[in-house]
Amino acid sequence: MASTLLTLETRKGVTLIRVNEKKLFQRAAQTFRSEMLGLLDQGFKLLVLDLTNVAVMNSSALGVVILSYDRMCKEDGKFALCGLSPILEEVFVRMHLNELFPVVKTAEEGISLLTGAKNIPAK
C-alpha cells in the first residue's frame, strides 16, 4: 500500500509499520485510522507499530493504536509498539496502556520481542 502517512516493511517475518506524521490530529488521525484498518485486513500475525516520528496524537489516533492491538489479539497475532516520544510515553503510562501491550524503545527491540529473541515481559 503506497502511503505518505505509513511506511510498511517486513523484517524477519514481522510487519513494521512506521507512522510518518509528526502530529496525528484531525485529518491525519482519520487517514491513520483508515490506512491502519486496511493494513490489518491483510491478516498480519506479527506487527510492530513505530511511532518514532510522532510527537503528539489526539484521542482518535490513540484509539487506532488500541483498536490495532485488539484486532491483532482477536486474530491470534502479536503486537508491539515502539518509538514513543517522552510526551506520548507519559500518556501511555498514565492511561496504563503500557500494561495492555508491549512498548519498547526501538523497532529492532519490537522485532526481537515478537520473534522470540527477547521475552515479552509478564503483565
CA–CA gap between residue 33 and residue 105 (Å, rounded): 23
Name beta bridge partners: 46.
78
What the block records as the C-alpha cell of 34 is 483508515
If you average pLDDT over every residue of the chain, what do you get? Answer: 92
Q: Count of H helices and E strands in the chain?
A: 4, 7
For the chain, the structural domain boundaries read 6-115
Does residue 123 have a pLDDT over 60?
Answer: no
For residue 32, what are the contacts with CB-CB under 8 A and spacing of at least 6?
5, 6, 19, 21, 24, 61, 64
Concatenating the DSSP letter of every residue in 51-76 gives -TT-SEE-HHHHHHHHHHHHHHHHTT
The model's pLDDT over 54-78, given as tens digits with 9 standing for 90+, comes to 999 999 999 999 999 999 999 999 9
pLDDT at residue 11, rounded to an integer: 96
| Class for the domain spanning 6-115 | alpha beta
pLDDT at residue 38, rounded to an integer: 93
Q: With a threshold of 0.95, does the pTM exceed it?
A: no
